[in-house]
Structures are given as C-alpha cells and as structure tokens.
C-alpha cells in the first residue's frame, strides 16, 4: 500500500520541528517542542538517555505537561502519567479526491486565519476534534465552511514531516453534519497537499470509530497503531 519512504512518519513531531516548523520550535539539546499556543507536542529521540529527559524537563519546566504525542519512549519513573490514548496513523492512498473538488469547488470555502481564531476555538470546543490552540493555525492552511456567516466546519494542516502533511482539526458542528462538509474540506486539503508534492496522512483516536470509518471511506488506510501519551514533569 505504501510506496514511498515512511520513516519520517515514525517521529512526525520531531521531523516537523527540525524541518518545516523550525520557526515555531523551541529546542534544547535533542529535545524540542512547539512555541506556547501553537501546540503542546514535544519531541525526544526514540531511545533517550537521562541527559535528554533532563533537557526536555528544562525546556518545558517543572510541573508542566510533557505531551510526547506518539513517541514510544518511557520517561523517568517520577514523571506522572497524565493521559494515554490509543490511536492510529492513517495515510491517504486513494485515487479519487473526496468531495469531488472540481473547478469552483472552493466556492463557499474560506481560508481561516488569525481573525478567525475565536470562531475556530468555539467550533473546536463544541465538536472536540482534538487539541487546538490559539496559534495552531500557523502550522499550515486551515479551511472552513460558513453557513449564513457562522463557521460550521473546518479542517487544516498540522504536522509536516518531510514529504508528508498531516490533516487535522477535522470537525463539523453537530447541526451541520451529514452534508459532506468534512469530505469536501478533506478533499480540498488533499488536492493542495498533492499539488506541492506531499502526501496526506492523519492521526485519529481508536475510539473515534465514526471518524475512522469516514477516513477509510475517503481513501485513508491504517499504517500503524500509536499511543498518545502525556506526563507531568516533577
């Protein structure tokens, strides 16, 4: 199914922070994280030693959350587990673009920016697609659909390991579901991602069976299981 190098997808946060998102990164030694307000995700090597954990602790601060995203490394024993969530990483391997984004398909779709952040945060709070912060939109292009002026659906680009772009923050307000909004936005993002030579991928919680079904329906296939984990730094 996957005919292209997928190594960068094993550490999508670190590969993004070292590459496309270096301007949004804070780093100490081999530890890295995003600027406050952009994302909580932190990166550390797959097999870190005490020095690296100490660097990450210093970078993030005592008592702060170390959001390791899908990194499988085990922190020191006094780092208290805060959350652990089973998920999967999926790659788009479709041939037909979802939502039939032909010419004019972007009509009614708006590109979202800093001015739209309060509405994006409000939609995220209601639809709960996953973590989204006031500056998350700076990670890539975020698209939205409005109904009589109100933002009812959005989706955007998040992690950018070399050769890949992650689709994220896919959500539709409860009252606007089942009208093809998510499919349309995902289709437009896939078209943009392919046009610049990248391939689309995404992450989804295992328990979100509806979203998994939707993504499979749209041409995504599961590459691997992941566990999203966060720890409190002592």
Ligand X SMILES: CC(C)(COP(=O)(O)OP(=O)(O)OC[C@H]1O[C@@H](n2cnc3c(N)ncnc32)[C@H](O)[C@@H]1OP(=O)(O)O)[C@@H](O)C(=O)NCCC(=O)NCCS
Point out which residues bind ligand X (CB under 6 A): 127-130, 153, 170-172, 177-183, 204, 208, 210-211, 213-214, 217
3-state secondary structure of 9: helix
Nearer to ligand X, 33 or 172 (CB): 172
Q: How far is the CB of 171 from ligand X (least distance, A)?
A: 4
Smallest separation (angstroms) from ligand X to the CB of 119:
15
* Paired tokens of 47: 């097999």
Min dist CB 56 to ligand X, Å, is: 26
Pick the closer one to ligand X by CB: 160 or 181: 181
Closest separation between CB of residue 38 and ligand X, Å?
A: 19
Q: Write down the H helix ranges in 1-158.
A: 12-18, 50-60, 117-127
Residue keyed to tokens 């993504």: 215
* CA–CA distance, 193 with 185 (Å, rounded to integer): 12
Would you say 36 and 203 are in contact if contact means Cβ atoms under 8 Å apart? no
- Minimum distance of ligand X from residue 75's CB (angstroms): 26
Residue 197's CB is within 10 A of a number of other CB atoms, namely: 7
Contact indicator for 131, 120 with CB cutoff of 8 Å: no
CB nearer ligand X, residue 29 or residue 180: 180
The helix (H) or strand (E) run that includes residue 5 is: none
Q: How far apart are CA 47 and CA 74, in angstroms?
A: 8
For ligand X, the closer CB: 75 or 99: 99
Q: Would you list the DSSP string of 37-77?
A: TT--BEE--SS--HHHHHHHHHHH-TT-EEE-TT--PPPPT
Q: State the minimum distance, in angstroms, from the CB of residue 160 to ligand X.
A: 18
Residue placing its CB nearer to ligand X in the complex, 42 or 152: 152
Q: Which is nearer to ligand X, 32 or 40 (CB)?
A: 40
- Minimal distance, residue 30 CB to ligand X, in Å: 29
Closest to ligand X by CB, 57 vs 211, is 211
Contact 41, 136 (CB under 8 A): no
Residue nearest to ligand X (CB): 210
Task: Give phi and psi for 116, each to the nearest 5.
Answer: -95, 0
């Amino acid at each position: 199914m996957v005919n292209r190098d997928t190594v960068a997808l094993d550490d999508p946060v670190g590969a993004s922070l070292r590459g496309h998102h270096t301007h949004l990164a804070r780093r100490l030694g081999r530890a890295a994280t995003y600027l406050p307000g952009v994302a909580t995700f932190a990166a550390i090597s797959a097999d870190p030693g005490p020095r690296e954990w100490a660097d990450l602790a210093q970078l993030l601060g005592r008592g702060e959350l170390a959001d390791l995203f899908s990194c499988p490394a085990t922190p020191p024993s006094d780092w208290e587990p805060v959350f652990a969530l089973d998920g999967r990483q999926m790659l788009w391997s479709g041939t037909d673009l979802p939502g039939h984004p032909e010419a004019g398909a972007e009509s009614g779709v708006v590109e979202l920016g800093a001015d739209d952040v309060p509405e994006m945060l409000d939609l995220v709070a209601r639809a709960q697609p996953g973590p989204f912060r006031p500056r998350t939109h700076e990670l890539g292009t975020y698209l939205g659909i409005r109904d009589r002026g109100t933002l009812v659906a959005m989706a955007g680009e998040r992690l950018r390991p070399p050769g890949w772009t992650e689709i994220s923050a896919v959500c539709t307000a409860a009252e606007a579901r089942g009208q093809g909004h998510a499919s349309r936005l995902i289709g437009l993002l896939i078209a943009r991602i392919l046009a610049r030579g990248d391939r689309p991928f995404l992450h989804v919680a295992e328990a979100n069976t509806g979203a998994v079904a939707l993504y499979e329906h749209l041409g995504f296939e599961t590459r691997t299981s992941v566990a999203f984990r966060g720890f409190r730094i002592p």
